[in-house]
Amino acid sequence: MRYVIPAPMLAKAAAAVPDPAKTTGGLLFEPKWDGFRGILAWDGDSVEIGSRGAKPLTRYFPELVDAALRLLPGPCLLDGEIVVATGEGGAQRLDWEALSQRIHPAASRVTRLAAETPAMFVAFDLLAEGDDDLLDTPFHERRARLEKLFDGVDHPFHLTRTTRDRDAAVRWLAEFEGAGLDGVVAKPLDQPYAPGKRTLVKIKHARTADVVALGYRIHKSGSGVGSLLVGLYDADGVLRQVGGVAAWSDKRRQELVTELAPLVERDESGEAVTGEGERSRFSGAKDVSFVRLRPERVLEVRYDQLEGARFRHTVQFERWRPDREARSCTYDQLDTVAGYDLADVLA
């Protein structure tokens, strides 16, 4: 048999953990894993891993391919998350940076990292088993079959934990962030699998911070502000880039060019000074240069998580803060999250 990998089912954001009593059939709550979404297909002969963006992930995680061939009891199509954990026993947490390093063109590097920072696959849905297509099957039945399939399946495959108790989900939202998780997902128990549809609910951590505007990149259209780069001062007084703000409307992109013009750094000839932004393995040959701004203007942004010294995702603009001095925008204002051992989440 040959499985067709579907687009993954998606989630829409909510501000709070929903009440199961207000959803027909009830809800099942799961931790929201912060990794690469993966649809893993094992047809009995070979393994293929597809991503949320239709990018094949199979070659980047040979240890998961090998483990699937050894551990999975029969042909199946799994929906889950690929994650990497680092840290000593009792203080492990998800490591996004280590995970992102796995996407590399060199096979030798992929092989080395597969041994040094092996990945795990955390399964949370079963889309097919044997000859049975389960996409139209209610989630509570898919979950029951997934639990039965995973009975006895060992590391690096894990079955995500679940609860129907809203209070427990609220507690997970607070505690599991310490292990590097991203929030909580609520899934209607009676719904079929809906590829590409946002029928699930995700509740993520949302916080605000005052940051300094460092510069901006021109929009890909060639006109207006595409993204605004922002920074924070560290303990040594060094201003460090921590992320970017995007998603401006066409009109607002043009307005920002005018508003920020007085802050543009210029050389002796009057030309705007540009800088080179930080590259990631996802940027490829993309132009990461930006127009430098004098670090004087402060804005408040919404963010969900800090990864090392940078915001984990693109942040959202909240408002300008003319009342704040740029030098007052330090890392000290950010929330400190209590540690939580990843092993306790996987248990």
Q: Which residues are catalytic?
A: 32
End-to-end Cα, the chain, rounded Å: 33
Angle at 282 (CA atoms; ends 341, 92), nearest 5 degrees: 10
Of 282, 288, 307, 314, the C-alpha closest to 55 is: 282
Kindly report the backbone phi and psi dihedral angles of residue 277, in degrees, each rounded to the nearest multiple of 5, phi listed first: -75, 165
Of 133, 126, 94, the C-alpha closest to 344 is: 94
| 3 state DSSP class of 60 | helix
Q: Please give the structure tokens belonging to residue 160.
A: 């995500």
Q: Please give the structure tokens belonging to residue 108.
A: 């030798």
Note if the bond before 56 is cis, omega within 30 degrees.
no
Q: Please give the structure tokens belonging to residue 65.
A: 């391919």
Q: Do the Cβ atoms of 295 and 212 come closer than 8 Å?
A: yes
| 3 state DSSP class of 170 | helix
Q: Tell me how far apart the alpha carbons of residues 11 and 6 are, in angstroms, rounded to a whole number.
A: 16
Which residue stretches of 217-288 are H helix? 250-260
Integer CA distances (angstroms), 114 to 22, 101, 130, 143, in order: 44, 10, 29, 29
Percentage helix, strand, coil, to 5, in the chain?
Answer: 25, 35, 40
Kindly report the backbone phi and psi dihedral angles of residue 220, in degrees, each rounded to the nearest multiple of 5, phi listed first: -60, -20
